[in-house]
Chain A
Amino acid sequence: MDEQPAMQLRGLTKRVGNKTLVDHLTFDIPKGEVFGFLGPNGAGKTTSIRMMVGLISISEGQVLVHGVDVAKDFSKAMQHVGCIVENPELYKYLTGYENLRHMARMTPGLDPRRIDEVVALVGLQNRIHDKVKTYSLGMRQRLGLAQALLHEPSILILDEPTNGLDPAGIRELRDHLRKLAREQGMAVIVSSHLLSEMELMCDRVAVIQQGKLIQVERMGDMGLSGDGALSTSFEVDDVGTAEQVLRQHFAAQVVTSGEHRVTLPLMREQVPEAVAALTGEGVRLFEVKSQRKTLEESFLEMTGDETIA
């Protein structure tokens, strides 16, 4: 790797009293990637993000932004970072435009014309001079995003950005983030427990639970992990025989659903064997489907379906 990652976490840890909320997180987020931060409620996603943007102190470890330590040179590091932590925070008694001007004033040397640019980017032109207290939740999300993008950060950190957005809004945000990553090489970090969301939005996800990193995986590989078995289903004319044959050949749980379908977990290389066995016994085969586990399934598998830590 000749290029430095946009953001690096090095053994990031947060302790409060004798509780460890975040436990030695280590991973890199390269430029141009949409990186997901996945975990059940109370996993420590928000706590990690708070450390990444300097809202809370770091008990142990480091956060590096383009190689700059956030704890050591906060101002320099934060020039590159835009974020929304939990909710978009806005001054409700100011107009949308004034909120952006407030934000702009905190970045020395920012061209005021940039404000109009981000307003257009998030599509708030018509309401920008209204007071924020008259905005809907979705409009507030948009304004929050405009605030975070105002100083042209190279790293964007969003904590549960889809909160309160309608399906169209979610889709729009998703396309938006992907575009920012692809076209501007921005590193985008999003946290969520909306698994299906992550599946569509992210290049890679880090799964954390009880403050610990379970694994970091490329999105496409996710379903292949675990024991490597794929859920394979066969559409047949005679489910009774099919079930019997498959039980004989494979030591796996066979499930019959409907009148014509049997399903069982198989390794990829076992599939031809199963087909041969079925046709050999005269079972007529109409369709074979190997399905990757959904992210949801592998997520639950990884974290177990226990309740909040």
Chain B
Amino acid sequence: MLSLFANENMKLYRRPRTWILIALMAAIVLLTGVLMKGHEQPTPANWKQALIVQNQQLRQEAAGGGRHLAIFGHGAAQLEVQIQTNDYAISHNVPPQQPTGWSFSNQVEQEAVGVLLTVFVAIIAGDIVAGEFTGGTIKLLLTRAQTRSRILLSKYLAVLLFSIVLMAVTLGVSLLVGGGLFGFTGASAPYIYMSATGHVAQMNMIAYLFANYGFNSISLLMTVTIAFMISTIFRSSSIAIALSIVSLFIGNTIVRVLSTYSWDKYILFANTNLAQYFFNGPAISGMTLTFSVVVLAVYFIVMNGLSWYIFRKRDVALT
């Protein structure tokens, strides 16, 4: 099994394509950093004064029940998050808009490369089985003394390893670029947010960074599984890559469009963002973390089971 895994990795990392994806990712992070640095606004001299004034207004608002900002029914909590964030900036003497290495890494993940990460992994996952069929080399794999299940598993594991490598590179480069351009200060600054229950909470910036990657890797895993399944069923890299990326982009839209139906919450994409149970609360009320985890597990098992079943049964006839 280990040697099959070694084979898959050899095939993956001996191809220029894999390295192009990795290099591209690093380049995009670097470019984002350089652009952000270039557009950095000079901190106004009276920023502290401005924050104090803002906080006074916010407190008045909060005292009035947060009528004007009553989003999600947690207006007061939202206001409180802003007030506390400002208070921290004032008392620790750090201008709030000033990026740090940590905030940069978070921002880059959430706004720029988080989705790209999934797209790149889908490219690899979509090709890893289908590519053997188009190249004819599937015949080599299936005529040796190895079961088809092992062959498929070794491929799945190789994709997972690639996901981890790509994520590690992205995180590493974003920290290096962020730290290099904006400094490593502010690691102890808290990330203040509204919890799912509507209370103000806070966590360490570094913890927040890892939480971001952690939640993203869940949806990444599901996209990998989709791409892998389509790759196995249709034996076409382009179909697998296209469909899985499309699903990534329109998944949330589908969930929103179908929100009037009660079964909406059983759709895979309504459940891939587990962060909603920790920050800001679930998009569809009534859903719980346990519910989503169970739904995800069911999808995971069914999709992988289908890949496995079809791969084992397939007649490798047409060249």
Residues of A within 8 A of B (CB): 47, 50, 53-57, 74-76, 78-79, 81, 83, 85-87, 89-94, 98, 101-103, 105-108, 147, 151
Is B37's beta carbon under 8 Å from chain A? no
Cβ of B18 to closest chain A Cβ, rounded Å: 11
A47 to B316, CA, bound (A): 10
By the criterion of a CB under 8 Å from any partner CB, how many residues of chain B are at the interface? 27
Using CB atoms, name the residue of chain A closest to B151.
A106
Instruction: Name the one of B6, B11, B145 contacting A75, with C-beta atoms under 8 angstroms.
Output: B145
Using CB atoms, name the residue of chain B closest to A131.
B14
A278 to B78, CA, bound (A): 120
Whether B143 contacts A85 by the Cβ 8 Å rule is yes
Whether B4 contacts A94 by the Cβ 8 Å rule is no
Chain B residue numbers with a CB within 8 Å of A75 are 145-147
Whether A78 contacts B144 by the Cβ 8 Å rule is yes
Whether A108 contacts B3 by the Cβ 8 Å rule is yes
List which B107-152 residues lie within 8 A (CB) of chain A: 135-147
A106-B7 contact in complex given A56-B315, A56-B316, A98-B14, C-beta closer than 8 Å: yes
A50 to B315, CA, bound (A): 9
Chain A residue numbers with a CB within 8 Å of B71 are none
Whether A106 contacts B144 by the Cβ 8 Å rule is yes
Q: Can you list 22 A-B contacts (CB < 8 A)?
A: A50-B316, A50-B317, A55-B142, A55-B316, A56-B317, A75-B145, A75-B147, A78-B145, A83-B143, A89-B138, A89-B140, A90-B137, A91-B135, A91-B137, A93-B14, A98-B10, A103-B140, A105-B7, A106-B144, A106-B145, A108-B3, A108-B145
Instruction: Name the one of B7, B15, B139, B141 contacting A85, with C-beta atoms under 8 angstroms.
Output: B139
Chain B residue numbers with a CB within 8 Å of A56 are 315-317
A107 to B137, CA, bound (A): 16
Chain B residue numbers with a CB within 8 Å of A107 are 144-145
Whether B11 contacts A102 by the Cβ 8 Å rule is yes
Whether A78 contacts B143 by the Cβ 8 Å rule is yes
Whether A89 contacts B317 by the Cβ 8 Å rule is no
Chain A residue numbers with a CB within 8 Å of B144 are 78, 103, 106-107, 151
Chain B residue numbers with a CB within 8 Å of A74 are 145, 147
List which B1-53 residues lie within 8 A (CB) of chain A: 3-4, 6-7, 10-11, 14-16
A54-B142 contact in complex given A75-B147, A102-B11, C-beta closer than 8 Å: yes
Whether B316 contacts A102 by the Cβ 8 Å rule is no
Whether A89 contacts B136 by the Cβ 8 Å rule is yes
Give the 4 A-B CB pairs with smallest separation, nearest first.
A105-B3, A56-B315, A106-B144, A55-B316
Residues of B within 8 A of A (CB): 3-4, 6-7, 10-11, 14-16, 135-147, 313, 315-317, 319
Chain A residue numbers with a CB within 8 Å of B141 are 106
Cβ of B139 to closest chain A Cβ, rounded Å: 5
Chain B residue numbers with a CB within 8 Å of A93 are 14-16
A75 to B1, CA, bound (A): 14
A55-B11 contact in complex given A106-B146, A108-B3, C-beta closer than 8 Å: no
Cβ of A299 to closest chain B Cβ, rounded Å: 26
Whether B137 contacts A105 by the Cβ 8 Å rule is no
Whether A89 contacts B139 by the Cβ 8 Å rule is yes
Cβ of B273 to closest chain A Cβ, rounded Å: 37
A74 to B319, CA, bound (A): 22
A204 to B136, CA, bound (A): 30
Chain A residue numbers with a CB within 8 Å of B3 are 105-106, 108
Whether A94 contacts B14 by the Cβ 8 Å rule is yes
A147 to B316, CA, bound (A): 19
Cβ of B82 to closest chain A Cβ, rounded Å: 54
Chain A residue numbers with a CB within 8 Å of B138 are 89
A76 to B147, CA, bound (A): 10
Chain B residue numbers with a CB within 8 Å of A50 are 316-317
Using CB atoms, name the residue of chain A closest to B313.
A57
A93 to B313, CA, bound (A): 29
A93 to B131, CA, bound (A): 13
A53 to B144, CA, bound (A): 9
A36 to B10, CA, bound (A): 37
A299 to B143, CA, bound (A): 31
Instruction: Name the one of B6, B11, B14, B136 contacting A87, with C-beta atoms under 8 angstroms.
Output: B136
Chain A residue numbers with a CB within 8 Å of B15 are 93
